[in-house]
Amino acid sequence: MKFTALSLVFFIFSIVPFTIQAAKDINGVSENGFYILYDNQYRPFITFCDFNSDKGFIWTLIESFSLNNSMKAKYRKGFFQDFPTVSSFIDLQEFRLENSVMKSIAGAPGSTHFRTTCNFNTNDRKGIQNHLDYLRVSFCNFPNFFKNVNKNTCTKVDYINVQGQSCRDCSIPIHDGGNEHHMLANIDRSPDDCDRLKFGGAKGYAFGDYRLLDSKFSCSMASNSTTNWWIGGADMS
């Protein structure tokens, strides 16, 4: 899906790096849409911000890719790697911020969590529905987000939902990706590892590094299905 008509908000008097929380506090914005924000080097970047799909949370999009594009080498890398897209519009089929910008967002006051959604905004322009096929994790529980450790780590997640099967505050293997995979929830290993959770008949990797179409998982059910990665935290205003 391509968004060609960008709704942009410009901040002329930027004193501090503008997180989306700061933009809300100072400029009163609270509509989902495209925003120009500033990283901690005062460099502007455009991304999509979501204020309303998760009650109490504000999210900044750091990456989005289609099942088709997930097969490309640059989407088979952990977040420690730098593979930004260069484009004047944001295409949710293929979008990734610079690594330094992602780190700036993660290091900003109030950034406490990352999450993954599927096909954000495609159906009803309201974001997500029912938290189906969704993952939310606190950075405290997964310190390898920007690291290259290249292994599964038992990680306590806030919430995971795969094919309608969900749990809260449970531990599942999350792989940081390393050099050959995207970061992912290792659903293949979860019945034997950590809290030993089965997710229905789901197999393989969820939220990254797909190998096949999977008609039951909404991030990978069609070649244009998208996986969306976000950094955010509680709405403190």
Ligand X SMILES: *[C@@H]1O[C@H](CO)[C@@H](O)[C@H](O)[C@H]1NC(C)=O
Q: Binding marks (x or -) toward ligand X, 158..197, rule CB under 6 A? A: ----------------------------------------
Cβ proximity of 63 and 228 under 8 Å: yes
Q: Least distance (Å) from ligand X to the CB of residue 170?
A: 28
Looking at 6-14, 109-117, 135-143, 219-227, which segment touches ligand X (CB under 6 A)? 219-227
Segment lying near ligand X (by CB under 6 A), choices 17-25, 77-85, 158-166, 220-228: 220-228
Nearest distance from residue 222's CB to ligand X, in Å? 6
132 binds ligand X (CB under 6 A): no
Give the C-alpha separation, 227 to 133, whole Å: 10
Q: Residues 164-181, buried b or exposed e (16+ Cβ, 10 A)?
A: eebeeebbbbbbbbbeeb
Which one of 68, 81, 141, 148 is in contact with ligand X (CB under 6 A)? 68
H or E stretch at 154: strand 152-162
Residue 223 found at the interface with ligand X (CB under 6 A): yes
Q: Which of 104, 117, 220, 225 binds ligand X (CB under 6 A)?
A: 225
Q: Which is nearer to ligand X, 92 or 160 (CB)?
A: 92
Chosen residue from 1, 26, 149, 234 binding ligand X by CB under 6 A: 1
Q: What contacts 128, CB < 8 A, 6 or more positions away?
A: 53, 54, 117, 118, 120, 134
What's the min distance (Å) between Cβ of 164 and ligand X? Answer: 19
Nearer CB in complex with ligand X: 62/67: 67
Shortest distance in whole angstroms from residue 234 CB to ligand X: 28
Judged by CB under 6 A, the stretch of 83-91, 157-165, 175-183, 218-226 that binds ligand X is 218-226
For residue 161, report the phi and psi dihedrals to the nearest 5 degrees.
Answer: -140, 120
Measured at the CA of 36, the angle between CA 77 and CA 208, to 5 degrees, comes to 20
What backbone torsions phi and psi does residue 104 show, to the nearest 5 degrees? -65, -40
Kindly state the DSSP code that residue 74 receives in the 8-state scheme. G
Of 34, 47, 25, 54, the C-alpha closest to 126 is 54
Q: Is 122 an interacting residue with respect to ligand X (CB under 6 A)? A: yes
Q: How far is the CB of 218 from ligand X (least distance, A)?
A: 9
For residue 88, how many C-alpha atoms fall within 13 Å in the half-sphere facing its CB? 2
Q: List residues near ligand X by CB under 6 A.
A: 1, 68, 119, 122, 222-226
